[in-house]
Structure 1
Amino acid sequence: MSLINKMLQDLDARGTPDGRGDAAGIRSVPERERGVSRALVFGGAAGLTAAAIALGWVYWKRPPVPPVLVSVATTPVAAPVPPVSAPVAVAPAPVAPARAAEPEPVFQAEEAAPAPAKLRLAELRRITEKPAKPAAALVLKTAAPAASERIIDGKQVTAQQRVENEYRRALAQLQDGRVSDAMLALQQTLQLDPRHQGARETLVRLLLEAQRPDEAARQLQLSLALDPKQPAQAMMLARLQLDKANGGTAALDTLMRSLPHATDNGDYRAFLAGVLQREQRYREAAEHYQLALQTAPDNSVWWMGLGIALQADNHPAQARQAFERAKGLQTLSPQLQAFVERKLVPLTAAVAK
């Protein structure tokens, strides 16, 4: 305050001619009118500064606070609430009382924070309270492939699928004109499944086209030995057997084994009748021709065959009727039609006597 008084006195002195201030104008402030003393002001400022330094020293020198540990078993974890259009009142989750007898496993607060992909409180409690099984007790069950299955290119393939894959491969090779490869693939198919008729019949056809009848006959014999209920294959094998010298007996044996499975097959019976007629067993041949005609009464060729068998078995009247029926149907070729007419001449004369 003394500095301020001096400045005021200097200004007052500059404003008068004699350099003195007006006593009635500006005057010095007496010490008693200055209010608070300078000693008190400086003392208070020093005290505040000392207090601030002491507080700062206490703050910086205090020991670090350890991280807070949260007991998951006793602290409820709030589940995330999806946003809703209207306010929803959420009841606070009850806090389970802490058990003093058993120590609970604890987690860091950040680890127990709820998130959509994290476990809920009940699941955490179930995991922490339930003892974990030893690793040795955890056995992974893997389905082992059955004996009839194999792993091909990482895929589990059954025996039947392998057969069909091999058969399709053979057909694809045949379509590409690779006949030799197709035959090998068909043989491989039959090794996997000897009863695969599609592969067997295709292989037989290829062998016949390649002029290999003996191999074709062997394939047919193997097939009929496994399953005689195949009249078409039996007829095919019998034809191959008839081409050989004295093959009639083998052909009849083949046809008779499959006959029980072809009782309603007119073609089969007519073919058997022709083989019997070739072997001069005319009566049996006539019987099978008659059974065949029951399935196809207008087959002129079978009527002609019946007439031949009856005539050879010394039944001229019945033979004449059979030939006349064959002629009257008008479905024979010109050569066969002429053959029937020649047969009718002596039979008609014999009946007229």
Structure 2
Amino acid sequence: MSLINKMLQDLDARGTPDGRGDAAGIRSVPERERGVSRALVFGGAAGLTAAAIALGWVYLKRPPVPPVLVSVATTPVPAPVSAPVAVVPAPVVAAPVAPVVAAKPEPVFQAEEAAPAPTRARSAELRRITEKPAKPAAAPVVKTTAPVTSERIIDGKQVTAQQRVENEYRRALAQLQDGRVSDAMLALQQTLQMDPRHQGARETLVRLLLEAQHPDEAARQLQLSLALDPKQPAQAMMLARLQLDKPNGGAAALDTLMRSLPHATDNGDYRAFLAGVLQREQRYREAAEHYQLALQTAPDNSVWWMGLGIALQADNHPAQARQAFERAKGLQTLSPQLQAFVERKLVQLTAATAK
């Protein structure tokens, strides 16, 4: 915004006359005329002096005129003046009458004498007095209370709590893409502080913690997530794997899987993993049951058939175990090591049944 300052100039550019008369027109007065004029001048001067004294006496004895008070409370205010008002100085009044002084619209002041001010100052004062005060604009409504937790104003836009969470999560992913792993982990933790149930942020943070060789912190994050929402089979399986790596961690892993089992009844991978943990804890009958339920979702999974054969053999069901091993071998999808393992198991079962 540019401000233009107007310079007011009230200088009389015109020159004043030099006051010089015509020297050529001066002539000497004869002595006779000079003598007559002197007597007349003295007589006229004396008469004028006496008349002035008499008039002054009469003037001074005249009763003074009381000062005029103006109440501007009832005086109508003129319309706003758009252009500056030129002020013409008032003529000098010989009588000692107090000048009329205008006042502000609200209070009423007594009239007082004021010394003449420069033209520019008097113009500004007259504009201030005569212009009708503009109606003040309504002040914007400002909330004094703290913003609600679900909404916030950012860059002049109203942003909900969920939008803030997603913005923070996207910022973490952008930092991760730029290779700033530490910053990304901090942003993910900030996202989880705002929304502990954000599964994308939780799983990404767990993966980064595992890559950074922090399995204990990764397990803690998974436990926090499952405590809030156990309906997360994938996280339960991940936590169970971390718990199995601990000494005597089979019981903790089994407890984790059993708590989330009601939310994974149709998940074959989940049931097969649970069956493997049960088999490790020597709970072979339960393991066989979950392997059979898992195979209902994926009948051609040779690894699960092999696991079922192990559980049945350990639970003293050799015939059923042999059938399971034969099915695993016949699918021809096992690795060479597992294929060899299944063949050895078949030899053992064949020899046992032959006796």
Q: TM-score, normalising length from structure 1?
A: 0.60
Instruction: Using the TM superposition, name which of 65-74 and 154-163 deviates more.
Output: 65-74
Map Cα deviations across residues 202-223 of structure 1 (whole Å, 9 max, x no partner): 0000000001000000000000
Map Cα deviations across residues 2-21 of structure 1 (whole Å, 9 max, x no partner): 99999999999999999999
Map Cα deviations across residues 270-307 of structure 1 (whole Å, 9 max, x no partner): 00000000011101000000000111111110010000
- Return closer, same or farther for 1:107/1:154 CA change in 2, 3 Å cut-off: farther
- Please say if residues 13 and 20 of structure 1, whose CA atoms lie closer than 8 Å, have aligned partners that are also in contact: no
Structure 1 residue runs without a partner (length 5+): none
- Return closer, same or farther for 1:278/1:26 CA change in 2, 3 Å cut-off: closer
Structure 2 residue runs without a partner (length 5+): 91-95
Match of 2:102 in 1: 100
- Return closer, same or farther for 1:267/1:4 CA change in 2, 3 Å cut-off: closer
Q: CA deviation at 1:59?
A: 38
Q: CA deviation at 1:326?
A: 0.7
Q: CA deviation at 1:155?
A: 2.6
- Please say if residues 293 and 302 of structure 1, whose CA atoms lie closer than 8 Å, have aligned partners that are also in contact: yes
Q: CA deviation at 1:147?
A: 3.7
- Please say if residues 74 and 98 of structure 1, whose CA atoms lie closer than 8 Å, have aligned partners that are also in contact: no
Map Cα deviations across residues 82-135 of structure 1 (whole Å, 9 max, x no partner): xxx999999999999999999999999999999999999999999999999999
- Please say if residues 308 and 324 of structure 2, whose CA atoms lie closer than 8 Å, have aligned partners that are also in contact: yes
Match of 1:20 in 2: 20
- Return closer, same or farther for 1:258/1:124 CA change in 2, 3 Å cut-off: farther
The count of aligned residue pairs is 350
- Return closer, same or farther for 1:304/1:3 CA change in 2, 3 Å cut-off: closer
Regions of 4+ moved over 6 Å: 1-81, 85-144
> Hey, what's the Cα distance between the residues in 1 that align with 2:245 and 2:7?
153
- Please say if residues 75 and 96 of structure 1, whose CA atoms lie closer than 8 Å, have aligned partners that are also in contact: no
Instruction: Using the TM superposition, name which of 147-156 and 16-25 deviates more.
Output: 16-25
Q: CA deviation at 1:67?
A: 31
Instruction: Using the TM superposition, name which of 240-249 and 143-152 deviates more.
Output: 143-152
> Hey, what's the Cα distance between the residues in 2 that align with 1:167 and 1:207?
17
Map Cα deviations across residues 23-75 of structure 1 (whole Å, 9 max, x no partner): 99999999999999999999999999999999999999999999999999999
- Counterpart secondary structure, 1:151: strand
> Hey, what's the Cα distance between the residues in 2 that align with 1:263 and 1:13?
105
Q: CA deviation at 1:247?
A: 0.3
- Return closer, same or farther for 1:191/1:28 CA change in 2, 3 Å cut-off: closer
Q: CA deviation at 1:161?
A: 1.2
- Please say if residues 9 and 27 of structure 1, whose CA atoms lie closer than 8 Å, have aligned partners that are also in contact: no
- Return closer, same or farther for 1:107/1:232 CA change in 2, 3 Å cut-off: farther
- Please say if residues 74 and 97 of structure 1, whose CA atoms lie closer than 8 Å, have aligned partners that are also in contact: no
- Please say if residues 68 and 108 of structure 1, whose CA atoms lie closer than 8 Å, have aligned partners that are also in contact: no
> Hey, what's the Cα distance between the residues in 1 that align with 2:276 and 2:296?
16
> Hey, what's the Cα distance between the residues in 1 that align with 2:6 and 2:220?
144
Instruction: Using the TM superposition, name which of 47-56 and 205-214 deviates more.
Output: 47-56
RMSD: 17.5
Map Cα deviations across residues 213-250 of structure 1 (whole Å, 9 max, x no partner): 00000000000000000000000000000000000000
> Hey, what's the Cα distance between the residues in 2 that align with 1:4 and 1:302?
88
- Return closer, same or farther for 1:173/1:28 CA change in 2, 3 Å cut-off: closer
- Return closer, same or farther for 1:66/1:196 CA change in 2, 3 Å cut-off: farther
Map Cα deviations across residues 138-188 of structure 1 (whole Å, 9 max, x no partner): 999999953421222333221111111111110111011000000000000
- Return closer, same or farther for 1:50/1:226 CA change in 2, 3 Å cut-off: same
- Please say if residues 12 and 22 of structure 1, whose CA atoms lie closer than 8 Å, have aligned partners that are also in contact: no
Instruction: Using the TM superposition, name which of 233-242 and 125-134 deviates more.
Output: 125-134
Instruction: Using the TM superposition, name which of 222-231 and 95-104 deviates more.
Output: 95-104
* Larger of the two Rg values belongs to structure: 1
Q: TM-score, normalising length from structure 2?
A: 0.60
- Return closer, same or farther for 1:50/1:224 CA change in 2, 3 Å cut-off: same
